[in-house]
Amino acid sequence: MNALPKLTLPQGQIGPYPIGGPDARMVVVAGPCVIESLDHCLTVAGRVGEICKAIDLPCFFKASFDKANRSSIDSYRGPGLEKGLEILAEVKRRTGLPIVTDIHTPDQAAPAAQTVDVLQIPAFLARQTDLLVAAAQTGRCVNVKKAQFMAPWDMENVRDKLRSANAPHVVFTERGVFFGYNRWVVDFRAIEWMHQLGIPVLMDATHAAADPGGMGKASGGQRDMGALLARAGVAAGADGLFLEVHDNPEKAKSDAATVLPLDWLPELLEQCLKIYQTVRK
């Protein structure tokens, strides 16, 4: 009788933590979509850190200093590069959490790398060669969101661009693909296929639950589906979770329809950790 196929589990490094492989702990990247204020970031980061510490999970605080791809010209984008990095540096200093943030242009890579631990490339920019090379050359870990218009095996070219610029560590994030208008769908096989490229993979459960542009001037979505997608992603072999969380989701300045309540996080992470441990035994 044939044996049950094993997951491909490439090993890597994300910021200060190992990721992937059969023995690494599940990694959590969590925070609001966009920086709203220093006080708000400290509130969310402090709670994320407490929750993850209680169940011994390595975690990062994430927030964007600029959301350059918002649906409307009137949408809140964030405080910008200089002020945003000052806030993220203060969050890191006060909480001790490593930081993940997006960059959108090559000139943002070097200054962001002076503050944050992981540079993230937004999905719509996953093929931008100059941006990838600039991020790689900082020496920071680079997390690339798989583009909604790309097959998982097409991420091989993204990997090779980063490696050509001597990126020391690379992580990919699955967040769904286009499915008609204003819909994403997740093909969970993508996690295994990107693993076969030798790259650890995070599951972005909250963006995958969004309906992009579904509310005209903002994205809609189904918040409860974010928890489902998180569990399913870990079951499919994801090495960690990317989750947008907020203390008052309805008042969030970005992705209010899909950001998860902080109160959900303890139970959700405990569930996902059990699944993670089960599939890697």
Nearest-angstrom CA–CA distance, 201 and 219: 25
Nearest-angstrom CA–CA distance, 32 and 18: 24
Residue 182: CB atoms within 10 Å: 16
Helices (H) then strands (E): counts for the chain: 8, 15
Q: For 239-264, how does the pLDDT look when each residue is reduced to its tens digit (9 = 90+)?
A: 999 999 999 999 999 888 899 999 99
Does an H or E element contain 111, and which? helix 109-113
User: What pTM value is reported for the model?
Assistant: 0.95
Q: Look at the domain 27-276 and name its fold.
A: TIM Barrel (3.20.20)
DSSP 64: B
Nearest-angstrom CA–CA distance, 167 and 66: 24
pLDDT of residue 183: 84
pLDDT of residue 136: 98
Q: By the 8 A CB rule, do 7 and 21 touch?
A: no
Domain boundary assignment for the chain: 27-276
247 Cβ contact partners less than 8 Å away, ≥ 6 residues apart: 40, 43, 44, 47, 261, 262
Q: By the 8 A CB rule, do 35 and 41 touch?
A: yes
Across all residues in the chain, what is the average pLDDT? 94
Query: What single-letter amino acid sits at 26?
Result: M
From 268, 254, 269, 275, select the one nearest 62 (Cα to Cα): 254
Below-50 pLDDT ranges, the chain: none
